[in-house]
Amino acid sequence: MKKMSILTLLLLTAICVIIANSGRASDDKTKKPATTTKGKKVKVVKTEAEWKQSLTPEQYHVLREHGTERAFAGALHDNHDKGNYFCAACGQELFTSDTKFDSGTGWPSFYAPVDKEAVDEKSDKTFGMVRTEVLCSRCDSHLGHVFDDGPKPTGLRYCMNSVALKFVKKP
């Protein structure tokens, strides 16, 4: 009887170890990096499969594959309602209608983010151009680009993709 209890205990221990390690992916493409923080904000980290599941195909292409929607095709380029613009991937607030302006480019344009910490910028040298890419600081999703031909007071034009944003109208 004692032999059986020890054997059962060993078997249960082995099962617990197997279960504890079963969540670890051996393929780097499915492995989640450790959650990090930037200031007080916690990074949103998902596998590419999880992003594909939570975004539309067009959103996935723009936000995760650094794509661009066609000019004048997005729902928000001609939006004149008062409200706030959030990242379509993670929900972080990015821009307000108070800083939105008509750039004539066919994409929603803003002269400043709601907070400097809401967006990250990095050099983009694709397609033989040098531009500054704008990313959501919370989930690293591609939002668009920033240019230095905007209106006062900043002189900047944050040219964003409509599908990268969710608009919430002020009541």
Closest C-alpha to 146, from 163, 123, 170: 123
Q: Is 136 a catalytic residue?
A: no
List the catalytic residue out of 87, 90, 139, 159.
Answer: 159
Active site (catalytic) residues: 159
